[in-house]
Copies of this chain bind each other. A is one copy, B any other.
Amino acid sequence: MNRNEISDGFRALQLHICSELEALDGNSTFNEDAWERHEGGGGYTRTLMNGKVLEKAGVAFSAVHGPITEAMKNQLGHEGASFFATGVSIVLHPKHPRHPIMHMNVRYFELEDQTFWFGGGIDLTPHFVNFTKAQEFHLSLKRVCDDFHSDFYRKFKEWADKYFYLPHRGESRGVGGIFFDQLDESCGLKKDKLFAFCQELGRLFPKVYADQLKGGHLQAPTKGELNWQALRRGRYVEFNLLHDRGTKFGIYSGGRTESILMSMPPVANWEYNFEPNANSEEQKTLSFLRDFHDYC
């Protein structure tokens, strides 16, 4: 299993996910931008705008290589002269406030001495929390995790709880999911199995998103719902620019800005000291995000 097989697999995964999301949206299709990186490699950034369901979706693939910079050393905690990295990352910003934001990232990293690891995560950020839907989401993740390793779900769920958290708000970004990094053969699985795990997560992504959209008939959004969505999108911006490791690493190490910031919502609002009404659904979501939860 060499680096080219892995990056080819991730590229195929990107195209598969895009075609599933196009079918789900039923209206808009992805545009593709090919780009090259000065130091080596490049990527394909695919975006869908103003769909019926998806207001802004980004599904990015990249495979890059080159010398390791100081900024990278600090963040990786690894020494080395050169690296290879490939992965797929996705953020979906739906149009309707009753639909959730969803994110995924799977990636592979290799140093010139053949040291390698995988990383990734999937997490769900509803504007309005629905506990049953959150449980379904976690159960789907758990099933895929369990197919590979009995420790994965518990460990990666806890990691996500810590990672997708805004300390300056005392809030989780959403209902969590799974997160893992520097996953290598020391966990007991061989490289091809670890790659298969990442691919399975990728294939799960559009299915899980479709599941999240199922259920009760959707009314046209109210002004209040749209306002709350815009404020929650503001929190999403805060997480990505202040805390998200991938975003910060990309930006500070000179990555392609437009591809990194495709995760930004189309619109975000900030309102000084906004307090939802007592017992409103907005208030319930906020209270929910201030605690940790188990889902399965």
Report A's interface with B, CB cutoff 8 A.
33, 45, 47, 49, 56, 58, 168-169, 230, 234, 237-238, 241-242, 248, 251, 254, 257-258, 260-262, 264-273
Contacts and interface: CB of A to CB of B under 8 A. Distances in A.
Given A238-B241, A241-B237, A261 B251 contact: no
A100 to B, nearest CB: 19
Taken together, the copies of this chain in the complex come to 2
B237 A242 contact: no
A269 B267 contact: yes
Nearest to A238: B241
Nearest to A269: B267
B238 A272 contact: no
A272 B262 contact: yes
A267 B226 CA distance: 13
Mostly helix, strand, loop or mixed at chain A's interface? mixed
Contact of A264 (B33, B56, B230, B234): B234
| Top 4 A-B residue pairs of the complex, sorted by shortest distance between their CB atoms | A241-B241, A264-B270, A47-B272, A168-B251
Nearest to A274: B258
Contacts of A273: 33, 47, 258
A58 B260 CA distance: 30
A266 B262 CA distance: 21
Given A169-B257, A257-B168, A266 B269 contact: yes
Nearest to A234: B264
Q: Which residue, of A56, A267, A268, has the highest number of chain B Cβ atoms within 10 A? A: A268
